[in-house]
Amino acid sequence: MLAKPGSICINPHELIFSGNPCTYLEKEGSTKTGKVPKYIATLHFATSGTQVFEADSQYNGELCFMQDGTIGKGWISCWEKRNHISIKLGMKGSTLIIKSIKGLNKKQESITLFKDQP
């Protein structure tokens, strides 16, 4: 599937599995009381092992999976030629939503572009 210009599309063929950062699945252990945790696994992903300022584009983040296999929370960081967007995901009721989007202004300072209302 081709992405529309200006949209975020992470090509799975660009994920890297060695180096730092890299893509891997982390299984969460039991809680201190021995119960199954709310998030049973976290997928850490990255498309470039280079430093941000060296890459034309770089995507990385984490997706946390709940006991039923659905994504319960996470974040995605997207760099495209010195432009940055950071997206935070979370649950609202039983729906995964975008909690916030942050970017950079012309002075390269972090600004909030969108924040979900409680």
Domain residue spans of the chain? 13-115
Give 107-116's long-range contacts (Cβ < 8 A, gap of 24+). 113/85, 116/90, 116/92
Tell me, what's the pLDDT at 15?
86
Tens of pLDDT along the chain (118 residues) come to: 344 555 667 778 888 888 888 899 999 989 899 999 999 999 999 987 555 555 567 889 999 999 999 999 999 998 877 788 999 999 999 999 999 999 988 888 899 999 998 7
User: Does pTM surpass 0.95?
Assistant: no
